[in-house]
Structure formats: structure tokens, C-alpha cells
Amino acid sequence: MMRQLILLLLLVAGSARAELVIEITQGRDNPTSIAVVPFAWSGWGSAPEDVAGVISDDLERSGQFAPVKLANMLSLPTREADVYFRDWRATDVEYLLIGRVAGGSGMTIEWELFDVFRQAKVLSGRESGSAEELRMLGHRISDDVYRQLTGIRGAFATRILYVTANQRFDAPSTYQLTVADADGARSEVIYESNEPILSPTWAPDGRTIAYVSFETSRPAVFLHDLDTGIREQLTDFRGLNGAPAFSPDGNSLALTLSKDGSPDIYVLDLGSRELRRVTRHYAIDTEPAWMPDGRSLLFTSDRGGRPQIYRVDIATGKTERVTFDGPWNARASLAADGRTLVMVQQKDNQFHIAVQDLQGGRVQTLTSTTLDESPSVAPNGSMLLYATKLGDRGILAAVSVDGGVKFMLPSRDGDVREPAWSPFLGDP
């Protein structure tokens, strides 16, 4: 935790708004070819959003698909009657997505997905919402297409949190907590302070977040309702108050507190506000992460001499070490499958993102940059976000859990850290 504080305090940047952009740096071999034809528009003026472009970018970013460029499309159908499969077979396209957007008092999208070689419709759908929601409607279509073709629920219609640090010579430092779509678009600053902000995390409902703020001159944990903007301070203990993590049911918050001496793991019941101490050790215990059953926690501790990840049973306090590969492992983040542990691993004085199979024990290093931290796994377990450096600037980057796909999300301005990927939003 102290390393996090030092790193954040050293951030330098220069803008009040940190829009993220996507730069794909590595994809899979032989991705599935798909043509996402520009959607027809019926309404006043021009379409407020290129829905087909949103979908095409989503699928390409997953690394699983290779969208066909518009210049290589032999026809531009928008209805099933206009589809001539020979046009798409001629360019070895495997799947075809077409659609129509109707504007008025609201927006409606109708779309259809075809298997070109079978010459058959395999999926269709309809999405409705406001003009401001049009981009998110496109992400929902991406989710449906991704699930149909891969068997895995898509996570394009999710959101991310991140912290932007701005330090100027002629003005006080500012720290901004920003929420954006999973592709970095539609960013919105939801809280700004002249004091550091750390460890943002999502509640399972996707409507409430928690984070650490230094606005009271010492670290304190806050709850923040994204719908109303209402903030509530949860802790005001002396010493460290940090690393909040919501339980799987959203009813409790695991925390690191040093109010009784050394930093230990506690669990706060958000209903009764009853606080329960989980670990009792003279070493530093921090960075809790819940196991899916809600009965145990992973956490980082230096009780063995150097930071490693441990697991503690909340009811009994029984503790066991989980990581053994390498001299330094920390900041556990768990995929939804309950067995894929994502962590920061130090080797040869460099910090990388690594994954460990909790059942088989196999460890794989995913990143090759030298100062990687704060991993956060997508709710479908396919990708993870993390913070790293590009030159002298802090940026966000993403990598698939098997290391096959990589892309960066550099900010147009500013220095960004502390990413947190939201849970699924809306119906399955």
C-alpha cells in the first residue's frame, strides 16, 4: 500500500480531462473475419453515432476478430433481402453483420448476424434508447455478437474507473476520479480533489463505488453513489484506512486498517457498520480481494519477509500462503472463475502482470513493460486492465488473460493510474 501512495504522489501530468484512446499492439493469429457493414440511418440530419464503427472497434479490440475494411466490401446491404453471400465468400468473410438505426424521440437499432459459408442468419436483435445512449447500445450488440461466436459473455457494455493526477508548477495538484466506457469513450469526472485519490473499486451492482481520499488530511474510505453523486465517509481511524474491496453480495467491505497497530485486514458490514478484524499479525497485511464464495479473502503480506499473496478464512482465521513463484507478488485480483489469480510480480527489479492458476499452480507472465501495477479483471475474465508507463507518462493498458492480445489506452492528456473494471451492467 505504501508503494501505491508513493507512486501516486510522484505522478505528473497536465490536463483537466483524460480522454482515453485505443492503440492495439498485439492480436491473435488467424482471427475470425467479420464484416460490419455501415448501418442505415433514418432520421433528421446525420446519425449521431457510427454504431457499426463502435461494434467493429469492439470486436477488433478483443483480438478474436478481424473486421473487414469498408474499402474491401463489395456491397453494403442493410437488410436481409439485400445480402448476396457470394460477395462475401469471394473475400473469405466468415460472418456478416448488418443493421438499421431509426431516430426520433428515441433511437432504435435493428440488426442481423449471418454465417456467410452456411448462408444462414444466426442471430438478430433490437436495441432502444436515447441518442446519448447510442454508443452503449452499440456495445450491447457487440456483447451479443461476441457471445454468439465465442460462447463467452461480452464485456464491451461495461465501464471503467481510473484516477488522473495533474501536477502543475503554477497551481495546486489535482486528482480526478473518472468513469468511462470500457473503450475509454464518454469519460466523466465524478470527483476532483487537491489531495490524492486511491484504490477505486466497484460494488457488484455497478451503481456504487468506494475509494480512498486524502481530503481530510489523512486517508479515509468513501462510498460514492454514481446515480445521485452522494458521498459518504466510512472510516476516520488513525493510521492507514485503505484498499477497499466489496464482497460478492455487496453487503460488506474488506479494508486495510492500522488503527490497532500494524496494518491488518478488516471486514465492515455496510448495513450494521459492525467492524470485524480478520488478520492479526505484526507484519503488513493489505490489498484484500474476495474469493467468489465470500467466505475467504486473498491479501498481500510481508509476514514471510517479502510481499506474497495469502488466503485467509474469514470465519476461522486460518491462513495459507498462495504464491511461491518469484520473490515478490502482490495486488491480487481474481477472475470470475475463482481460479485465475492476477497479480503484480517483481522479478529482476521489474514489475510485471502475471497470472496463476490457483488449482494447478501454473504461473504465466503477461506483460513485458517494467513498471506495471493495479491489475483489474474484466467481468467475463477474458481481459484485464493495468497501469503502466509510456515514456514518462502513466497510462492504462490491457492484456488478455492468456497474453495473446494487448492494447494501450493512453490518455490524450494527463497521467492515469488505478484502473477498476466494472461488473456486468444490465441483464445477462
**Phi, psi values for residue 148, rounded to 5°:** -60, -40
Q: Look at residue 14 and tell me whether its pLDDT is greater than 50.
A: no
Find, among 325, 257, 255, the residue nearest to 290 by Cα. 255
Round the average pLDDT of the chain to a whole number and report it.
90
191-196: average pLDDT: 94
Examine the pLDDT at 121 and tell me if it is beyond 70: yes
**Mean pLDDT, residues 164-187 taken together:** 87
- For residues 16 and 154, the model is more confident at 154
**pLDDT at residue 339 above 50?**
yes
Percent of residues, the chain, with pLDDT higher than 90:
79
Residue 167 is predicted with a pLDDT of: 74
pLDDT number for residue 23: 57
The rounded distance, in Å, linking the Cα atoms of 326 and 341 is 15
- In tens, the pLDDT along 257-295 reads 999 999 999 999 999 999 999 999 999 999 999 999 999
Alpha-carbon distance of 264 to 317, in angstroms, equals: 12
Cell of 266: 478488516
**At 169, is the pLDDT very low, low, confident or very high (cuts 50, 70, 90)?**
low
Parallel, antiparallel or unpaired: strands 32-36 and 95-103? parallel
CB 401 within 8 A of CB 357: no
Query: Residue 385 is which amino acid?
Result: L
Residue 424 CA to residue 296 CA, distance in Å, equals 23
Residue with cell 472510516: 235
Strands (DSSP E) contained in 214-339 are 220-225, 231-233, 241-246, 252-257, 264-269, 275-277, 285-290, 296-301, 308-313, 319-321, 328-334
Which homologous superfamily is 31-150 in? TolB, N-terminal domain (3.40.50.10070)
DSSP state of 293: T
Q: Tell me the C-alpha to C-alpha distance, in Å, between residue 236 and each of 29, 120, 266.
A: 52, 61, 14
Q: Which one is predicted more confidently, 29 or 414?
A: 414
Q: Which residue has the higher pLDDT, 50 or 2?
A: 50
Which class for 80: exposed (0-12), middle (13-18), buried (19 or more C-beta within 10 A)?
A: exposed
* Domain 2-24+158-421 shares a fold with domain 31-150: no
pLDDT at 24: 56
Query: Rounded mean pLDDT of 149-157?
Result: 96
Closest C-alpha to 300, from 311, 317, 287, 312: 287
- C-alpha torsion angle, residues 344, 347, 350, 356 (rounded to 10): -20
Stated pTM of the model: 0.90
Burial class (CB in 10 A: 0-12, 13-18, 19+), 182: buried
Range 141-147 average pLDDT: 98
Domain range 2-24+158-421, CATH architecture: 6 Propeller (2.120)
Query: Cell numbers at residue 160, please?
Result: 471503467
| Residue-range domain boundaries for the chain | 2-24+158-421, 31-150
pLDDT at 25: 59
